[in-house]
Amino acid sequence: MANTVRDPVCGMDVEPATAAGKSEYEEQTYYFCSLGCKKAFDENPEKYLGKEHEHNN
């Protein structure tokens, strides 16, 4: 089975190689199931990242 990652907008599992889109944010790559999810993320990444994205400084 291929490696999957979770779309931060809708929570769907996505294969990076076949993702509909991807975005870079704070030196991390996020993959999306659709261009709609990518657009929503690009407009407000912090809304979708929440606590899981907090820095460990």
Q: What's the pLDDT tens digit per position in 5-30?
A: 999 999 999 999 999 999 999 999 99
Q: pTM of the entire structure?
A: 0.83
Question: What is residue 50's predicted lDDT score, i.e. its pLDDT?
Answer: 83
Closest by CA position to 47, among listed 25, 19, 16, 17: 25
- The domain locations on the chain are 5-50
Closest by CA position to 23, among listed 13, 11, 4, 9: 9
Mode of pairing for the β-strands spanning 13-14 and 21-25: unpaired
Distance of CA 45 to the CA centre of its chain: 9
